[in-house]
Structure 1
Amino acid sequence: MSNDLTFYTNPQSRGQMVRWMLEEVGVPYETEYLTYGGTMKAEPYLAVNPMGKVPAIKHDDKVVTEVAAICAYLADAFPEAGLAPPVADRADYYRFLFFAAGPLEQAFSLKAVNFEVPPDKQALFGFGNHANTFVALTKMLEGREYITGQFSAADLYVASELGFMMMFGGLERKEPFASYVARCTDREAYRRGKRKDAEAAEAMKAQG
């Protein structure tokens, strides 16, 4: 497998999470920046992702979309980066990665638009309600430095989601979330990714 890797993103999107992952992986990649309502919703990008949203990656002839899937894929495609535990030890890795991509994301998104699931409808939603989701995550994170004992793609994804929620006021900066996010983001790859996205955002703004 070669390292012909293209990253499709907008620097002001969840693509920041994949940028961080790519910087952790440490292999060369090309970046294609897309605009909301413009190139993101037109060909040739729709041939990559018919949903017309970012991020996405193309690795040789393989396309991967959805942030959690991209993180898991990159961890497997480049095992030398050490971002996934051995297969026999991946129970918590998968559990947290997809809890964050499913119930946690749903709970936050609906809360952000001021939608509270009625008590008699909670059984229809995978997360039940916002409060229960974060109570569960609190219990899941207690006593853990990292999800699997050392930093992994699951930590990158969960910490990114929690950091995003705290930044936009959807979650209080309280324990165990605040210290977990601070610990996970205290990495050079994270800082490098943030710098690259900030520079790209400024360049796109200047271009109009």
Structure 2
Amino acid sequence: MPLVEDNKCDLVLYTNPWSRGQIVRWMLEETGVAYRQVVLNYGEQMKTPAYLAINPMGKVPTLVHEGKVVTECPAICAYLADTFPEAALAPPFYDRAAYYRWLFFAAGPLEAAIVNRLLKVEVDEDQQKMVGYGSYDKAVAVLADAVSSAPYLLGEQFTAADVYVGSHVIWGMQFESLPKRPEFERYAKRLMERPAFLAAKAIDDRLGEALKNAAQA
């Protein structure tokens, strides 16, 4: 298991088990490299001067590697894929068109469409040209087509794009911010059977239970 308790480990994940840190943990487990974790509770622990010096947003996840700070889940996923090429989680540089396309589609138009819908922000037909996603239904349809054309977004190769986009699909259906379309269900099932996904989920489940028990003690 890549997660270690060695304080000398120079790859550090700042996270909370009930956060998007789950995405980064999955990505770390896919790389197979050793990392350690710093678990922060919501509230004061994420707003201390020491943590704000690392991530001024006061949010998790944050990755620190050899003193370098990376925030934002798609950026962390891409960084890890590039930093540990032996894991084969990114295509060659000359063949990254679709890889970048879907990473940034999920980080931009798709997430904006989902968040606006959850916030009940209504975008009328005239306003659709002002938002990157056009309409929620359009963004969902594009995503469904992308995940149904092959086993993974880039065909037969699983990549960091699947970790990030797949997380949107898995948790989107879980929290009903995305519809349970057959295309999404097949794609999510395929991803959730991966050993790294299962390992990451087990860690966060145990961590979440421990935090819950500590709060009730």
TM-score, length-scaled by structure 1: 0.95
Could you tell me which amino acid in structure 2 is paired with residue 18 of structure 1?
V
Structure 2 CA distance, aligned partners of 1:98 and 1:180?
19
Partner of 2:4: none
Task: Say if 2:80 is the partner of 1:74.
Answer: yes
**Where does the alignment leave 5 or more consecutive residues of structure 1 unmatched?**
none
**Where does the alignment leave 5 or more consecutive residues of structure 2 unmatched?**
1-7
Task: Say if 2:170 is the partner of 1:167.
Answer: no
Could you tell me which amino acid in structure 1 is paired with residue 169 of structure 2?
L
Task: Say if 2:149 is the partner of 1:140.
Answer: no
Structure 2 CA distance, aligned partners of 1:184 and 1:50?
32
Partner of 1:126: 132
Contact 1:23 1:190 in 2 (8 A): yes
Task: Say if 2:85 is the partner of 1:105.
Answer: no
Contact 1:151 1:184 in 2 (8 A): no
Structure 2 CA distance, aligned partners of 1:142 and 1:195?
27
Structure 2 CA distance, aligned partners of 1:69 and 1:48?
16
Contact 1:116 1:129 in 2 (8 A): no
TM-score, length-scaled by structure 2: 0.91
Alignment of 1:1-208 (within 5 A): 4-149=10-155, 150-208=157-215
Please list the CA deviations of residues 65-86 of structure 1 after superposition, one character each: whole Å capped at 9, or x if unmatched.
0000000000000001110011
The alignment covers a number of residue pairs equal to 207
Residue identity (%)? 50
Stretches of 4+ moved more than 4 A in 1? none
Q: How far apart are residue 3 of structure 1 and its match?
A: 6.3
The RMSD of aligned alpha carbons is: 1.4
Could you tell me which amino acid in structure 1 is paired with residue 103 of structure 2?
L
